[in-house]
A and B are shown apart, each in its own frame.
Chain A
């Protein structure tokens, strides 16, 4: 059984693990024999040595063929001059799944042979295509996991005109910021109380919005453009339409980065899904001109105070890019955070796997502050155990352990719901709307202060 967080491993069929990919040692910078040359030379030398040692002259015939191939491969021209290489990358900020093009321009003078690039992509980066045109090498790279990654290293072998000797140029492609692809979401549930800022959500207070909440008698001095004529006719006095105020919401997305769990059934990383869901929520609220902030708990507490605007989304995702490197077990002191991080009455989405009980402590603090809190539970599957490899007694113990683990998680959910905190299971494939739909039945309640 595996109940511990794993990093750098994934179930078969799952996404590529984030194993640290190290390029080989620095290649020699001087001219050296190519692989083909080495092969032909090795066979030749071995055959000649064997013929001399054994006295079997026929073995020399084995040496003759490769030797002639080598001699005829020499072009008779000088070797080309290899100055260096310059890499340009079409974009260094992109979303996961997008493809970036890297062009390597080699400074080669004279007659050169073939140019063979050997790419060593960074973690989570896949090489889609490699193309060599003249002295230009073009690579198409696709990062499949969000994060701040090195795009990789490319060793380019430049052969001489005869293809016998080569010289290697190492090119670093640099880093790229790969933003998480937000989970699709169109719903923006709101809390009971909204701050006094103009927005798009209908508040319970009366105001100058567009949603009619009732009619009332006209008071002398009021504008008469909102007269409700049916009521006026019925009651015999001027009646005016009454509208609800429209306010913007404050939303804070709290990301649980205390651990990264891989679902044994599909190899999906819980941290990946956590950040994608958080980005989806942020995008949906920013679209309706609300203020959105982010707070991640884990190794280092990172936050961004709520803000609004189209460009704010990129600031939000940049804030969480380092989360993967910060996996740890340090809990923030919420009382020590600036008050602007979690404004009063801000709706707080806590995206968590509920596997670490310390998150429950954070939730307790949040509810004690009076903020309306919604827990979005990221699925991690159940631990798997190899039934065939266990004896019957151990199998029963393993099954009992799984049942206890599931019961413990159910108890955590029950405790939260009993405290008035909705716990919504995230369904990654179905988008966030299905998860958030239950919140549309009623406004999210915070604790009354």
Chain B
């Protein structure tokens, strides 16, 4: 049952360390401040790996839920931290691709989804391509009117709408739902 490989957790933590370093670098360009931030943020990289299958907390307390979803919390934390700064293009690109790679690695390391063959390579390529496209659109020097961010916002909003429609499902699906707990 235990299909979690130690190397998987190690890779996730290694990616976590690089992500934390990158997010700190995005916040500040001063090496002294960067070095000061590291002791506070680097330990969080340990939580970049999902809990081992035998030690997944099953309670409903917020601590247990946070522990179960530590990878989501870590990725969100890195995103929010990096968003505080306005890094150069190369660093923003590195951070974007690293975060996407980290998320794809988590998908692959999921023991329940490891056999899932429904993740074609074109989906991975499309996600990387769209991230690069949005990044380029956001960084495009199109004058003071700054249409770059607007284009990026529209692109993301369109994708979000498509996603919401897909998740909502058809009316027949909703009829199939069982009684909701009170």
User: What residues make up the interface of A, taking CB atoms closer than 8 Å to B?
Assistant: 23-26, 28-31, 33, 35-44, 46-48, 50-75, 78-79, 81-82, 113-114, 116, 120, 127, 129-130, 157, 162-165, 167
Contact = CB atoms under 8 A, between A and B. Distances in A.
A130 B89 CA distance: 48
Given A56-B83, A71-B162, A65 B96 contact: yes
Interface string B30-50: 000000000000000000000
Nearest to B177: A30
Contact of A54 (B84, B113, B134, B178): B84
Contact of A130 (B1, B82, B127): B1
B156 A67 contact: yes
B153 interface: yes
Interface string B129-157: 01111110011000000101100110110
B107 A29 contact: no
Nearest to A44: B160
B177 A64 contact: no
Contact of A43 (B72, B155, B156): B72
Number of chain B interface residues as a range: 35 or more
A67 B79 CA distance: 14
7 A-B pairs closest in CB distance: A57-B149, A50-B83, A74-B166, A57-B138, A61-B135, A29-B178, A65-B100
Q: For A67, A75, A127, which residue has the most chain B Cβ atoms within 10 angstroms?
A: A67
A54 B80 CA distance: 10
Given A116-B112, A163-B113, A72 B135 contact: no
B118 A57 contact: no
Contacts of A25: 60
A66 B127 contact: yes
A111 to B, nearest CB: 11
Contacts of A24: 58-60
Given A36-B113, A72-B123, A66 B103 contact: yes
A107 to B, nearest CB: 12
Interface in B102-125: 103-104, 106-107, 110, 112-113, 115-116, 118-119, 122-124
A30 B178 contact: yes
Interface of B: 1, 58-60, 69, 71-72, 75-76, 79-80, 82-87, 89, 92-93, 95-96, 99-100, 103-104, 106-107, 110, 112-113, 115-116, 118-119, 122-124, 126-128, 130-135, 138-139, 146, 148-149, 152-153, 155-156, 159-160, 162-163, 166-167, 169-170, 172-173, 176-181
A130 B172 CA distance: 32
A290 to B, nearest CB: 46
Contacts of B59: 24
A164 B119 CA distance: 12
A43 B86 contact: no
B162 A36 contact: no
25 contacts: A33-B167, A36-B107, A39-B106, A43-B76, A43-B79, A56-B83, A56-B85, A58-B92, A59-B83, A60-B156, A62-B82, A62-B100, A62-B131, A64-B159, A65-B103, A65-B127, A66-B100, A66-B127, A67-B130, A68-B131, A73-B118, A79-B176, A114-B115, A116-B112, A129-B1
A43 B104 CA distance: 13
A62 B167 contact: no
A65 B128 CA distance: 6
B68 to A, nearest CB: 8
Contacts of B148: 57
A130 B167 CA distance: 30
Contacts of B128: 65
A46 B76 CA distance: 6
A60 B157 CA distance: 10
Given A42-B76, A59-B79, A71 B163 contact: yes
Contacts of A30: 177-178, 180
Nearest to B165: A74
